[in-house]
Structure 1
C-alpha cells in the first residue's frame, strides 16, 4: 500500500500494484471504467487508467471491438463479485464471440485471470483484471486484494485529474501529430508516410511521447493523451 500511496504517476501506481500482485503469479494488469455501449475506440481507450496488458493484444482488442464481446466486461457491467476466468464455463455459447476473445487472450500469456468489479464515488462501474500463465490467489485473499486494487485505482484517478487540471504534461507538435495518427490505428510505417518522415523518426517521437505521458506503450499513450485533452 505504501508504494501505491507514494506514487507520483499512473505508471508508478501500475508498477506498485503489479509488484504486489506478482506474488500470486500476476504478470499483467488492466483496469478502467466501463464505457457506454456507444463509445468509439478512442473513447474506450480513454477509460483505461492502469495498463499492464501486452501492447499487441490491447491494440487488437480495441481495434476489433472485443470490449462488447468480452465475457469479463459483461460480468463487470452486471456488478458481479470477483470471479476467476476458469469459472467462465460455457459463456462462449451464451455470448457470441466470447470464447474467441478469451482464447486469443491466452495466446498473449493471459491464460488465467481474475476480474474484480467495483464502483467509483461517482457510481461508475470499474473492472480490474489480473492475469498470467498461472494464477494462485486463494479465495480468502480475494476480498483483501480487492481493497488494494480499489485503492490503487482511486490513486490513479486522482493523479489523472491532477494532470488534467494542471496541464503538467505537454507534447511537442510532432509528438502530438504522431499520437493523432496512432489513435486512428496507423502503424509506425504508415504514420511516417503520412508525415513525410522516416520510420525511425516516427518511432522516436512515439517513444518520447510515451515517456512524457509516463506510460509503457503507444495504445496507453493514446488513451492518456485523449483523456488529458492533448489530442481530439
Structure 2
C-alpha cells in the first residue's frame, strides 16, 4: 500500500470526533470519483425491523431536503440497495439495480424509491455492506458516482481501486464504532453520563449521591432525564443503550 494511504489510515485512526472523521472520509472518496455518500448503522435490528430511526447513526453529504424526505417517508425500508445491504456482506455495483429495474423485478414501493433517487441524480454508484458480529447490528454505505459518470465508468474505477476503497471504508466503519454519536434529542449531558456510569458499576442511588455530592433526589432526576433522553423505561435499559451508543465510559475530547 502506498505511504500516502498508510498516512491517511493513521489519520483516520487518530481522529477524535465523528464529524471530523466523516469529513475526511467523504473527501477521500471524492478523489476516487464518488462525490456523495450515505452511511447508515443500526444497533437495534430485529429481523426486518431496523429499530427506531432516531437511533440510527446516519452520516451523509446528500442534500438535506433529499435526506429529510428519504427518512421521513421511510423510503429506506424499500430502497433496493439498502435491502441488498441487509441481506449481504461485501460490495455490489449498482448495475444490479439497473438490471432489476429493466426486468421489472421491483415492487411498486421499490420503484418509487428508484425514481425518487433518479430525480436527485442518485442512480450510479457502489454499495458496501459491512460484516456484523451481532444479528442486532448492521451497517452499510452507498457511494454515488459524480454527475455525468456512467455506471460502466464507475465499475472501471472499482476494477482498478475496489480493494483499496473497500479497505478504507472498513477502517472508517470500525472507527465509527469507537466514537460517540450525538443522537438527535438523545445526547446525554455530562451529569447524566456520570450517574449512568456509577449505576453500571453497581452503585445505589445513595452511593451516587455521596460520590457526586448531591442529594438522592437530584440523582433520581438525572436518571429520569437520562431515561427520557434515550427513550427507554428503566435505568438498566438506559445503561445498555448508552453503552451501545458509546455515550458513557468515554474520554472527553
Task: Determine if contact 2:179/2:246 at 8 Å carries over to the other structure.
Answer: no
Q: How is 1:35-50 mapped onto 2 (pairs within 5 angstroms)?
A: 35-36=45-46, 37-39=48-50, 43-50=52-59
Aligned-partner Cα distance in 2 for 1:45–1:139: 36
Q: Which of residues 21, 24, 33 is equivalent to 1:16?
A: 24
1:12 is displaced (CA, Å) by 0.9
| SS at 1:50 equivalent | strand
Task: Determine if contact 1:118/1:126 at 8 Å carries over to the other structure.
Answer: yes
- How many residue pairs match? The answer is 171
1:165 is displaced (CA, Å) by 9.9
1:48 is displaced (CA, Å) by 2.5
* Cα-Cα RMSD: 3.2
- Per-residue CA deviations over 1:96-120 (Å, capped at 9, x if unaligned) read 1223212222322323121011124
Task: Determine if contact 1:33/1:127 at 8 Å carries over to the other structure.
Answer: yes
Query: Structure 1 unaligned runs (5+)?
Result: 171-226
Query: Structure 2 unaligned runs (5+)?
Result: 1-8, 193-244, 248-253
| SS at 2:82 equivalent | helix
1:52 is displaced (CA, Å) by 2.1
Q: Which of residues 144, 157, 162 is equivalent to 2:177?
A: 157
Q: How is 1:200-211 mapped onto 2 (pairs within 5 angstroms)?
A: none
| Structure 2 match to 1:66 | 75
Matched, 1:30 2:46: no
Task: Determine if contact 2:12/2:175 at 8 Å carries over to the other structure.
Answer: yes
Q: How is 1:39-188 mapped onto 2 (pairs within 5 angstroms)?
A: 39=50, 43-92=52-101, 93-96=104-107, 97-122=109-134, 124-132=137-145, 133=147, 134=149, 136=154, 137-160=157-180, 167=189
1:68 is displaced (CA, Å) by 1.6
- Per-residue CA deviations over 1:133-186 (Å, capped at 9, x if unaligned) read 23633324222211211111121221127999985699xxxxxxxxxxxxxxxx
The structure whose RCO (Cα within 8 Å, separation 6+) is larger is: 1
Taking structure 1 as reference, are residues 44 and 165 closer, same or farther at Cα in structure 2, changes over 3 Å only?
A: closer
- Per-residue CA deviations over 1:34-88 (Å, capped at 9, x if unaligned) read 5443356xx2242224222221111111111211211001111111531121221
1:228 is displaced (CA, Å) by 8.0
What is the TM-score of this pair, normalised by structure 1?
0.62
What is the TM-score of this pair, normalised by structure 2?
0.57
- Per-residue CA deviations over 1:182-211 (Å, capped at 9, x if unaligned) read xxxxxxxxxxxxxxxxxxxxxxxxxxxxxx
Task: Determine if contact 1:10/1:50 at 8 Å carries over to the other structure.
Answer: no
Taking structure 1 as reference, are residues 10 and 90 closer, same or farther at Cα in structure 2, changes over 3 Å only?
A: same
Which piece of structure 1 moves more, 48-57 or 61-70?
A: 48-57
Aligned-partner Cα distance in 2 for 1:45–1:78: 22
Task: Determine if contact 1:9/1:156 at 8 Å carries over to the other structure.
Answer: no
